[in-house]
Amino acid sequence: MTQIKSSGKSSGAKNSQADFPDSKVALFGQDEPLQLDSGVVLSPFQIAYQDYGTLNEDKSNAILICHALTGDQHVANTHPVTGKPGWWDILVGPGKIIDTDRYYVICSNVLGGCLGSTGPASKNPKTGKPYALDFPVITIGDMVRAQAMLVEKLGIKTLFCVVGGSMGGMQALQWAAAYKEKVFSSVILATGARHSAQNIAFDEIGRQAVMADPNWLGGRYLEAGKRPTKGLAVARMTAHVTYLSEAALHRKFGRNLQNRDQITFGFDADFQIESYLRHQGMTFVERFDANSYLYLTRAMDYFDLEAEYGGHLADAFKGSRGRFFVASFSSDWLFTTAQCRTFVHALNAAGARVSFVEIKTDKGHDAFLLDEPVMFSAIHSFLTAAAEQRGLTA
């Protein structure tokens, strides 16, 4: 396998990160094509990834972490664009729940992403210009096949665990269905076996906001040196509301005014929640590509394991010998407990070994990314037991 480090010339610039990321990169040449669900064959392509810890001698301690919609490979290191800690730094690292002193942890930027894995912001080798909408539409299955190619190139036959929440949880489910013999255990958080009509609706609002921005230019904004920042910021603001609960919004902001004693009778950010959402929108556009947002939300919309297995979800997990930990969050209305229970019941019907918990919290969907002691304790217990079954020494 060819692995390269970023040259350092990117200096954290987002557009440069698309082709020359500040992370490791696995290159897949013309002789290593990726067959996509759309029927298109993608070749060549690359997958950017970070790894932490040391792979043991028999390569049995590897954990793959799958990121959510707006995440990336920088799960436990300083982000090269924002300078902030890794998005799951609270869970992953030396001595932490996912202990990099014990496990070899891999996290890749998904196919279609914008931090180094081939996607719409990447250079199309046929034209020398960014793919933009010439990039083929991808699915969760395509993302997972690309990850499987990366894992194979790293010489790993079986993953000790696949971990993911939200879109990452979809990937973990796809791994469990498509690569039963390669996954020893799974940690699946705040997700569903398919996207609901409500979730598709919110994704469509976000896509339309991006495409309505005059700087989107039919997706060719990078060639013109422009970016649809306003449209992408609105998409982020809309999505971010779905990640929180009403109780969390009330607790954090209520109807508190932003740096003023009374309303202005205008359209400035009178309320703290307005200012917060505007900040979320504008910081997001600094690190994310608008076309990638279109592609990744579309991949989530298309995800439907039940349909993939002829309307019988249990068949997706038939023959699985893996161990599963599944958690939902009581105030998550993006992926409800009922949605989680649907695939838990399917796992049970398939004879899989499943532990399931609904965690009581008012933090909403984002709870899986936050300091949730019950979640931490449950994941720690599950991984400890699985490691013993795997024969991994402490």
304 a known binding residue? no
pLDDT at 244: 87
Measured distance CA(109)–CA(171) in Å, rounded: 12
- pLDDT above 60 for 172: yes
pLDDT at 11: 41
Active-site residues, by number, are 166, 332, 365
- pLDDT above 50 for 118: yes
The model's pTM: 0.94
pLDDT at 15: 54
Structure tokens at 385: 């037991």
Domains identified in the chain and CATH numbers: 24-195+303-390 (3.40.50.1820), 199-296 (1.10.1740.110)
Q: Cβ–Cβ contacts within 10 Å for residue 331, how many?
A: 19
Per-residue model confidence as pLDDT tens digits over 322-344: 999 999 999 999 999 999 999 99
Per-residue model confidence as pLDDT tens digits over 224-256: 999 999 999 999 999 989 998 888 887 888 787
pLDDT at 267: 84
298 a known binding residue? no
Per-residue model confidence as pLDDT tens digits over 210-219: 999 999 999 9
| CA 243 and chain centroid, separation | 14
Beta strands in the chain (DSSP E): 3-4, 24-28, 34-35, 41-42, 45-52, 62-66, 92-93, 98-99, 104-108, 161-165, 185-189, 323-329, 353-359
Closest CA to 22 of 92, 83, 87, 64: 83
Mean local confidence (pLDDT), 367-379? 96
Q: Virtual CA dihedral for 279, 82, 48, 202, nearest 10 degrees?
A: -10
Q: Which residues partner with 186 through β-bridges?
A: 162, 324
Predicted confidence band of residue 9 (pLDDT cuts 50, 70, 90): very low
Predicted confidence band of residue 264 (pLDDT cuts 50, 70, 90): confident
pLDDT at 181: 95
pLDDT at 275: 83
DSSP 8-state symbol, 258 = S
Mean local confidence (pLDDT), 250-275? 80
Per-residue model confidence as pLDDT tens digits over 12-67: 455 589 999 999 999 999 999 999 999 999 999 999 999 999 999 999 999 999 99
